[in-house]
Structure 1
Amino acid sequence: MKYFPCSYGLLVLLFLVSSGTAFSTGSNLVDEQQIKVFLPQSSVINSDEYRLGEIAQLEGEDVLLLEKISQTVIGRSPLPGRKLTVTRSLILSRLRSQKINIKRFVFPGSESSSIQRAALKITGKDIDQVVLKHIRESNKNEDLKPRLLAKTRDVFLPRGQVSYVITSKGKYKKDGGYRNYEVEFSIDGEAVRIVTVRTYLKLYKEVFIARDTIRRNQIIEESDLLKVRKNVDRLPREYVTDKDQLIGKISKRTINPSEAIRGNTVSAPPLVKSGDRLQIVFETPFLRLSAPGISMAKGRKGERIPVKNLDSKIVVFATVQTRNVVQVN
Structure 2
Amino acid sequence: MYSVKAILAVGLLLVAGIADAGRTQTGAIEISLRDQVRLQDRTFTLGDIAQLDGTDSRLVSRLKRVLLGRTPRAGASAQIGRDAVASRIDRLSPGISKRVTWKGAAQTRVQAQHHRYDRQAYLDAAQRHLDNWLGKRYKDFSAKPVGSYNDLQLPAGKVAIQAEVARRDRVSKRMCVWVDLLIDEAHYTTLPVWFDVTAKAEVYELQRDLSAGTSLKPHMLKKTKRDLAAVSGEPVAALTVIEGQRLIRDLPSGTVLTKAALQPVPDVIRGQKLQVKASVGKVTLIATARALEDGNRGDPIRVERLDGSDNYMARVLDTGLAVVEEDYR
Q: Same fold (TM over 0.5)?
A: yes
CA RMSD, Structure 1 to Structure 2 (Å): 5.3
Q: Any conservation in 1 of the 2:300–2:313 contact (CA below 8 Å)?
A: no
1:132 to 127, 133, 144: 127
Quote how far apart the aligned CAs of 1:215 are: 6.1
The aligned amino acid for 1:117 is A
- Residues 1:307 and 1:45: Cα distance change in structure 2 (over 3 Å): closer
- Scaled by the length of structure 2, the TM-score of the pair is 0.56
1:70-89: per-residue Cα shift (whole Å, max 9, x none)?
617695454243465889xx
1:322 and 2:323 correspond: no
| Equivalence map 1:234-249=2 (5 Å) | 234-237=230-233, 239-246=235-242
Partner residue of 1:256? 252
The aligned amino acid for 1:79 is P
Quote how far apart the aligned CAs of 1:195 are: 3.1
1:71 to 36, 59, 64: 64
- Residues 1:84 and 1:315: Cα distance change in structure 2 (over 3 Å): closer
Query: In terms of Rg, which structure is larger?
Result: 1
- Residues 1:307 and 1:84: Cα distance change in structure 2 (over 3 Å): closer
- Scaled by the length of structure 1, the TM-score of the pair is 0.56
1:47-86: per-residue Cα shift (whole Å, max 9, x none)?
41232x335666x784649936961769545424346588
- Residues 1:273 and 1:290: Cα distance change in structure 2 (over 3 Å): farther
The aligned amino acid for 1:71 is K
Partner residue of 1:297? 291
- Distance of 1:55 and 1:102 partners within structure 2: 16
1:168 and 2:166 correspond: yes
- Distance of 2:240 and 2:257 partners within structure 1: 13
Identity %: 11
Quote how far apart the aligned CAs of 1:245 are: 4.0
Q: Any conservation in 1 of the 2:146–2:194 contact (CA below 8 Å)?
A: yes
Q: Any conservation in 1 of the 2:247–2:262 contact (CA below 8 Å)?
A: yes
- Distance of 2:125 and 2:51 partners within structure 1: 43
| Equivalence map 1:179-198=2 (5 Å) | 179-185=175-181, 191-198=187-194
| Equivalence map 1:60-209=2 (5 Å) | 62=55, 64=57, 67=60, 71=64, 76=69, 78-82=71-75, 84=77, 90=81, 94=85, 98-102=97-101, 105=103, 116-118=111-113, 123-139=118-134, 140-142=136-138, 143-150=140-147, 151=149, 153-154=151-152, 156=154, 159=157, 164=162, 166=164, 168=166, 175-185=171-181, 191-209=187-205
- Residues 1:222 and 1:157: Cα distance change in structure 2 (over 3 Å): same
- Residues 1:200 and 1:273: Cα distance change in structure 2 (over 3 Å): closer
1:216-262: per-residue Cα shift (whole Å, max 9, x none)?
77665444322222223333316433334447866676643323345
The aligned amino acid for 2:142 is K
Classify the secondary structure of the residue corresponding to 1:102.
strand
Q: Which moved more, 1:130-139 or 1:71-80?
A: 71-80
Q: Any conservation in 2 of the 1:50–1:75 contact (CA below 8 Å)?
A: yes
Partner residue of 1:16? none
Partner residue of 1:233? 229
The aligned amino acid for 2:123 is D
Q: Any conservation in 2 of the 1:268–1:300 contact (CA below 8 Å)?
A: no
- Distance of 1:315 and 1:137 partners within structure 2: 60
1:149-195: per-residue Cα shift (whole Å, max 9, x none)?
332652635747967473627x98x7413344444456677655333
Q: Gaps (5+ residues) in structure 2?
A: 1-27, 91-96
The aligned amino acid for 1:242 is A
